[in-house]
């Protein structure tokens, strides 16, 4: 009898859980624009992912609270936890695409690579803001993928440009050693072809230090190699727990921090703070504003954070990665707004969103109008160029906070663009039959 | 190629002795830390024959509890004592809820239970502490920070991190304390009896439940020490859980039931992987450390299948 009761309870529980898991979710209301957010608040990369997720979520929430959405239509926001895992990311995509998803932000190069072939089939664009496949900038080959405002290859070229400036010009790079420490995943390997090309062209030696994902907090070997090789500069493509560990290890081997430059995903305050005062001089690329001295961020604080409508820690508003998440949602929102204007519809589809993103023109005036003057460099997408190769700046850790230390630095577009086009053609060939672009250019 | 494999690494060791010493020191510290993690596995395996899959998350959970309490205004040393209390409660809970109902079940069932426990602790930990990495309260606990550099020759330098020295000292003290506990105390002897034969131990009046709770608590203390030391080197985050599996080759090498085996195994793996990565890794593009430890362990297994100090099991038909 006792066993019977146990079995009955277990069965009831199992049925309940299963029913909950597979029960059809209510379809999105007809008068909303549905934006799923693939985020990660758990797992080894949560330290970076939480800030991004909060920033993305809060800006869209704020638009709902302040303006009733976009064009009078509320935004239906739904987060799906990926743990930065490509398989879970695809599961999230499959679970949400049928609800009228307008756009996907995978926040992982691995997930982005999985979604790229699906985008044109399901007619839902992928927005990989400053990450993902660099070659996706070529709009003729990838009409459904957007990596505005800048690709990894552009970013790598900016770092080389900056180093060249410090050394007295590109010609001075000959004979130098530049180290590249990176997360040994699709993300970290992405800029290597460009760096190798530049090394060959300008005569510097590129030293590579891969960090496997399961060794992110155990980097002493990589940094011992750095100590032995004595590279003149170090470049980092890190994420999650890799960043603070790398900065601590660099401090530990007494690497000159002013010659250590991270990509924009290695630009978190928490990352640099791990090295404390000793990490002063560490630099990172950035393309979004720092601080909360922007009216839109004040609105987020008042209408969303202080009102208790988010999980955001108030102290994190204005930090680099939080603001990056905000910028991501600004692009989503402006894409929706542009699509509404171009199509005349208020409730749009993924196909409309693609048109909106392709016609995105975020001018300085528009940024000021939405309460984010100076928050980002003006950015424009064209049918041919889905990244725009916009400039980025460099910020430096002063021991307590990041301070902007350069003006906007242009990428080496003349070098990068032909390589992007070649890489896009190569991708299409390797993934044949890759669909020809049939989408009209709305510009 | 043959020169790169058989000659160049040794030339490098000779020409840059300071760097070689630094590699040996890093290998020693890594080995000590691996040994600490392996100790947690060994303790539970000795007492119950269970491979505790949850040891890694116990390291994270202990570290996060300590830092989390301090973040909420609890003074560092009180937070340490409270964390020890939490690990005791956790040990009792695991014994009462997970282990006791599974007595006499096949080992694989107990292994599955510890896998379930792992996922429970991940979810529970994230619910309470959030997923963000936290800074270890190294200075607040009175642990040393900073480093000392020793000049070596004209340009040579060997840098010793004070926290690494502290890790080595704490690990040695912990091993000593565990050795005394196992060999000189009544509970320790009872624990060894349980490890040798559950039924025989029960027949002479040893409480299996009590022993299991004690051993899980001891593993919790080892996890706390490991969490503090690894956390001080990077941050306390859920990514640390994966590090725990660095202990697997240590266990294969040292044997699942031997405390000295865990220490010697840890040191062999620590020295071996650092030397291999730094002097031979470049030949294959680097990054060999993560799998080289298993190569070392497998080579040892060829000659001693039970590990260096493991018990040789002979089953006669």
Beta carbons of B269 and B250 less than 8 angstroms apart: yes
The answer to whether B135 faces chain A, any CB pair under 8 Å, is: yes
A221 to chain B nearest CA, in Å?
6
Tokens 């969303």 map to which residue?
A304
**How high is the pLDDT of residue B142?**
94
A255 to chain B nearest CA, in Å?
12
| Chain A: residue whose CA lies nearest to B161 | A252
CA distance A52 to A40: 9
Could you say which DSSP state residue A364 is in?
H
Mean pLDDT of B21-35: 92
Residue A191: CB atoms within 10 Å: 24
Mean pLDDT of B189-204: 81
In a domain, B133, yes or no: yes
Best interface-test mutation with B: which of A218, A226, A230, A252 has the largest number of B CBs within 10 A? Answer: A218
**How high is the pLDDT of residue A30?**
62
B311 phi and psi angles, rounded to 5 deg: -85, 135
- Is B151's pLDDT higher than 90? no
Beta carbons of A236 and A182 less than 8 angstroms apart: yes
Judge if the upstream peptide bond of residue A433 is cis by omega within 30 degrees of 0.
yes
Residue A65: CB atoms within 10 Å: 18
The shortest CB-CB distance from B287 to any of A44, A210, A218 is to: A210
Contacting residues of B for A227, CB less than 8 Å apart: 19, 22
Beta carbons of A383 and A441 less than 8 angstroms apart: yes
Q: Domains of chain A by range and CATH?
A: 33-151+290-390+419-430 (3.40.50.2300), 152-288+394-414 (3.40.50.2300)
Beta carbons of A273 and A247 less than 8 angstroms apart: no
CATH number for B249: 1.10.3470
- For the record, the structure tokens of A67 come out as 């303006």
The ipTM estimated for the assembled molecules is: 0.85
Give the predicted TM-score (pTM) of the model: 0.87
Domain encompassing residue B282: 2-303
Q: Which of B191, B172, B279, B178 is nearest to B229 (CA)?
A: B172
Query: With an 8 Å Cβ cutoff, are B235 and A241 in contact?
Result: yes
* CA of residue A165 relative to chain centroid, distance: 27
Between B138 and B239, the more confident residue is B138
Contacting residues of A for B242, CB less than 8 Å apart: 44, 213-214
DSSP track, A296-323: HHHHHIIIIITTT-S---GGGTTSHHHH
In a domain, B315, yes or no: no
**How high is the pLDDT of residue B174?**
86
> What is chain B's mean pLDDT, rounded?
88
The answer to whether B139 faces chain A, any CB pair under 8 Å, is: no
CA distance B79 to B140: 11
- A284's enclosing H/E stretch is strand A283-286
**How high is the pLDDT of residue B285?**
77
In a domain, B316, yes or no: no
3-state secondary structure at position A264: helix
B187 to chain A nearest CA, in Å?
36
Neighbour-count burial for B77-106, b at 16+ CB within 10 Å, e otherwise: eebbeebbebbbebbbebbeebbeeeeeee
Q: Which of A72, A78, A65 is nearest to A301 (CA)?
A: A65
Contacting residues of B for A44, CB less than 8 Å apart: 237-239, 242
The answer to whether A83 faces chain B, any CB pair under 8 Å, is: no
Query: With an 8 Å Cβ cutoff, are B287 and A225 in contact?
Result: no
- For the record, the structure tokens of B129 come out as 């502490």
pLDDT digits (tens, 9 = 90+) for B48-60: 778 899 999 999 9
Q: Which of A290, A293, A317 is nearest to A306 (CA)?
A: A317
Q: Which of A214, A235, A115, A60 is nearest to A163 (CA)?
A: A235
DSSP track, A12-76: HHHHHHHHHHHSPPPPPPTTSEEEEEEE-SSSTTHHHHHHHHHHHHHHHHHHHHHHSSBTTB-EE
**How high is the pLDDT of residue B312?**
66
- Three-point CA angle B135, B141, B145, nearest 5°: 70
CA distance A33 to A435: 28
A70 to chain B nearest CA, in Å?
32
The shortest CB-CB distance from A184 to any of B238, B240, B287 is to: B287
Residue A351: CB atoms within 10 Å: 16
In a domain, B314, yes or no: no
Query: With an 8 Å Cβ cutoff, are A50 and B130 in contact?
Result: yes
Mean pLDDT of B163-191: 86
Contacting residues of B for A40, CB less than 8 Å apart: 131
- For the record, the structure tokens of A357 come out as 């993103």
Beta bridge partners of residue A182, listed in sequence order: A210, A237
pLDDT digits (tens, 9 = 90+) for B267-291: 999 999 999 999 998 888 777 887 8
Q: Considering only residues 215 to 234 of chain A, which have any Cβ-Cβ distance to chain B shorter than 8 Å?
A: 215-218, 220-222, 224-225, 227-228
Question: Mapped to the 3 state alphabet, what secondary structure does A85-143 carry?
Answer: CHHHHHHHHHHHHHHCECCECCCCHHHHHHHHHHHHHHCCCEECCCCCCHHHHECCCCC
Of the pLDDT bands very low, low, confident and very high (cuts 50, 70, 90), residue B313 is low
**How high is the pLDDT of residue B195?**
74
What is the tally of structural domains in chain B? 1
Of the pLDDT bands very low, low, confident and very high (cuts 50, 70, 90), residue B194 is confident
The shortest CB-CB distance from B26 to any of A214, A224, A273 is to: A224
Best interface-test mutation with A: which of B132, B137, B146 has the largest number of A CBs within 10 A? Answer: B132
In a domain, B317, yes or no: no
Q: Where are the beta strands (DSSP E) in A112-270?
A: 126-127, 145-146, 177-183, 205-211, 233-237, 260-262
Question: Mapped to the 3 state alphabet, what secondary structure does B166-227 carry?
Answer: HHHHHHHHHHHHHHHHHHHCHHHHHHHHHHHCHHHHHHCCCCHHHHHHHHHHHHHHHHHHHH
**How high is the pLDDT of residue A14?**
45
The answer to whether B161 faces chain A, any CB pair under 8 Å, is: yes
Q: Distance of CA A219 to CAs A181, A209, B19, Å?
A: 10, 10, 17
pLDDT digits (tens, 9 = 90+) for A325-352: 999 999 999 999 999 999 999 999 999 9
In a domain, B196, yes or no: yes
Could you say which DSSP state residue A278 is in?
G
**How high is the pLDDT of residue A26?**
41
The answer to whether B290 faces chain A, any CB pair under 8 Å, is: yes
Judge if the upstream peptide bond of residue A149 is cis by omega within 30 degrees of 0.
yes
Beta carbons of A248 and A241 less than 8 angstroms apart: no
**How high is the pLDDT of residue B307?**
78
Q: Distance of CA B198 to CAs B103, B113, B209, Å?
A: 10, 19, 11
The answer to whether A252 faces chain B, any CB pair under 8 Å, is: yes
- For the record, the structure tokens of A73 come out as 């239509």
The shortest CB-CB distance from A41 to any of B122, B131, B287 is to: B131
Count how many residues are written for chain A. 443
**How high is the pLDDT of residue A25?**
43
Q: Is the dihedral of CA B42, B46, B50, B54 positive or negative?
A: negative
Q: Where are the alpha helices (DSSP H) in chain B?
A: 2-6, 8-15, 17-48, 55-71, 76-93, 107-129, 162-184, 186-196, 198-203, 208-233, 240-243, 247-254, 259-279, 289-303
Beta bridge partners of residue A77, listed in sequence order: A35
With a cut of 70, list the residues of chain A below it in pLDDT.
1-30, 443
- For the record, the structure tokens of A354 come out as 């693609």
B247 to chain A nearest CA, in Å?
13
Between B189 and A262, the more confident residue is A262
In a domain, B311, yes or no: no
Task: Provide long-range contacts, Cβ within 8 A and 24+ apart, for A160-168.
Answer: A160/A195, A160/A198, A160/A202, A160/A412, A161/A409, A161/A410, A161/A411, A161/A412, A162/A261, A162/A394, A162/A406, A162/A409, A163/A233, A163/A261, A164/A202
Q: Which of B214, B54, B231, B73 is nearest to B125 (CA)?
A: B54
Contacting residues of A for B139, CB less than 8 Å apart: none
Instruction: For chain A, give percent helix, strand, coil, nearest 5.
Output: 50, 15, 35
Q: Which of A342, A333, A345, A344 is nearest to A369 (CA)?
A: A333
């Amino acid at each position: 009898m006792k066993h019977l009761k146990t079995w009955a309870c277990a069965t009831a529980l199992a049925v309940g859980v299963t029913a909950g898991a597979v029960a059809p979710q209510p379809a999105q209301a007809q008068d909303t624009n549905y934006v799923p957010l693939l985020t990660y608040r758990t797992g080894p990369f949560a330290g970076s992912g939480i800030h991004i997720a909060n920033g993305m979520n809060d800006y869209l929430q704020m638009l709902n609270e302040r303006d009733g959405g976009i064009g009078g239509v509320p935004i239906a926001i739904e987060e799906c936890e990926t743990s930065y895992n490509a398989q879970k990311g695809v599961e999230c995509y499959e679970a949400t695409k049928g609800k009228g998803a307008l756009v996907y932000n995978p926040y992982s190069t691995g997930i982005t690579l999985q979604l790229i072939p699906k985008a044109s089939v399901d007619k839902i664009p992928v927005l990989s803001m400053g990450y993902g496949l660099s070659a996706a900038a070529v709009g003729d080959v990838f009409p459904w993928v957007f990596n505005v405002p800048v690709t990894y290859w552009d970013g790598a070229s900016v770092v080389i440009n900056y180093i060249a400036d410090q050394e007295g010009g590109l010609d001075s790079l000959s004979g130098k050693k530049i180290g590249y420490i990176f997360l040994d995943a699709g993300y970290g390997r992405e800029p290597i072809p460009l760096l190798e090309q530049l090394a060959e062209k300008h005569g510097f030696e590129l030293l590579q230090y891969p960090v496997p994902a399961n060794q992110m907090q155990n980097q002493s070997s990589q940094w011992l190699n750095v100590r032995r090789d004595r590279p003149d500069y170090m470049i980092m493509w890190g994420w999650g727990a890799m960043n603070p560990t790398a900065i601590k290890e660099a401090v530990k081997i007494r690497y000159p921090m002013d010659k250590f430059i991270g990509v924009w995903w290695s630009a978190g305050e928490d990352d640099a703070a791990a090295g404390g005062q000793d990490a002063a001089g560490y630099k990172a690329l950035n393309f979004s504003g720092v601080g909360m001295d922007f009216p839109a961020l004040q609105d987020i604080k008042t209408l969303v954070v202080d009102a208790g409508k988010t999980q955001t820690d108030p102290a994190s508003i204005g930090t680099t990665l939080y603001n990056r998440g905000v910028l991501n949602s600004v692009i989503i929102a402006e894409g929706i707004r542009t699509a509404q204007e171009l199509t005349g519809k208020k409730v749009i589809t993924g196909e409309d969103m693609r048109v909106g993103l392709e016609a995105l023109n975020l001018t300085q005036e528009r940024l000021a109008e939405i309460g984010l003057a100076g928050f980002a460099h003006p950015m424009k997408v064209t049918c041919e160029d889905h990244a725009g190769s916009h400039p980025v700046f460099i910020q430096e850790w002063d021991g307590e906070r990041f301070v902007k230390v350069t003006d906007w630095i242009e990428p080496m577009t003349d070098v990068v663009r032909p390589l992007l086009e070649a890489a896009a053609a190569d991708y299409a060939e390797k993934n044949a039959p890759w669909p020809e672009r049939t989408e009209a250019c709305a510009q | 190629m043959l020169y790169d494999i058989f000659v160049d690494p040794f030339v490098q060791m000779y020409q840059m002795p300071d760097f070689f010493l630094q590699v040996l020191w890093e290998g020693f510290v890594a080995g000590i830390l691996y040994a600490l993690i392996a100790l947690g596995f060994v303790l539970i395996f000795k007492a119950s024959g269970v491979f505790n899959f949850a040891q890694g998350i116990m390291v994270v959970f202990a570290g996060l509890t300590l830092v989390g309490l301090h973040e909420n205004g609890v003074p560092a040393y009180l937070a340490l004592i409270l964390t020890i209390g939490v690990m005791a409660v956790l040990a009792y809970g695991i014994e009462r809820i997970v282990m006791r109902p599974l007595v006499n079940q096949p080992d694989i069932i107990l292994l599955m239970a510890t896998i379930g426990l792992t996922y429970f602790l991940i979810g529970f930990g994230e619910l309470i502490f959030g997923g963000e990495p936290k800074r270890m309260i190294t200075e607040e606990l009175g642990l040393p920070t900073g480093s000392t550099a020793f000049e070596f020759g004209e340009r040579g330098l060997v840098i010793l991190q004070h926290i690494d020295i502290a890790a080595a000292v704490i690990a040695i003290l912990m091993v000593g304390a565990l050795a005394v506990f196992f060999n000189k105390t009544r509970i320790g002897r009872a624990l060894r009896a349980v490890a040798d034969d559950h039924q025989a131990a029960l027949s002479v009046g040893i409480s299996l439940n009590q022993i299991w709770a004690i051993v899980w608590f001891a593993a919790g203390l080892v996890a706390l020490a490991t969490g503090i030391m690894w956390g001080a080197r990077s941050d306390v985050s859920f990514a640390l859980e994966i590090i725990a599996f660095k202990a697997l080759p240590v266990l294969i090498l040292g044997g699942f039931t031997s405390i000295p085996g865990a220490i010697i195994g840890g040191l062999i793996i620590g020295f071996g992987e650092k030397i291999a990565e730094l002097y031979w890794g470049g030949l294959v593009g680097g990054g060999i450390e993560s799998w080289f430890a298993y190569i070392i362990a497998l080579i040892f297994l060829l000659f001693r299948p039970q590990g260096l100090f493991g018990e040789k099991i002979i089953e006669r038909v």
